[in-house]
Amino acid sequence: MAKEAAQEDVVNIQVDVDPVVAQGMYVNLAIGNFNREEFVTDFVFLQPGSTKGQVRSRVILSPRNAKRLMTMMQENIATYESKFGVITEDPQAGVQFSFN
């Protein structure tokens, strides 16, 4: 009975992607901030050797959805590493931020 009830709760959602959005946007830096109500993440492209980056996209999530995103990313990274090997950290040394 519980299995049948769980199957009844499944909702199929169709998601359309605009062709421009489907092409994606390359970024090489993410900057995050939060308050009680939301998490804000700016995705930035920082030209190598430059001291000024450009925000390409800003994503605003509720705390619950931010946690879901974190879980999804952790699962995807674990799957990636099991197939391709461990991703090593390579922090950018000496990057300082100035928020204008």
Rounded to whole angstroms, the Cα distance separating 80 from 89 reads 15
Q: Which pLDDT tens digit goes with each residue over 47-100?
A: 988 989 999 999 999 999 999 999 999 999 999 999 999 999 876 655 666 665
pLDDT band at 9; cut points 50, 70, 90: confident
> The dihedral of CA 27, 19, 58, 66: what is its sign?
negative
What pLDDT, on a 0 to 100 scale, did the predictor assign at position 89? 83
> The dihedral of CA 20, 21, 23, 25: what is its sign?
positive
Rounded to whole angstroms, the Cα distance separating 42 from 44 reads 6
Q: Supply the pTM of this predicted model.
A: 0.74
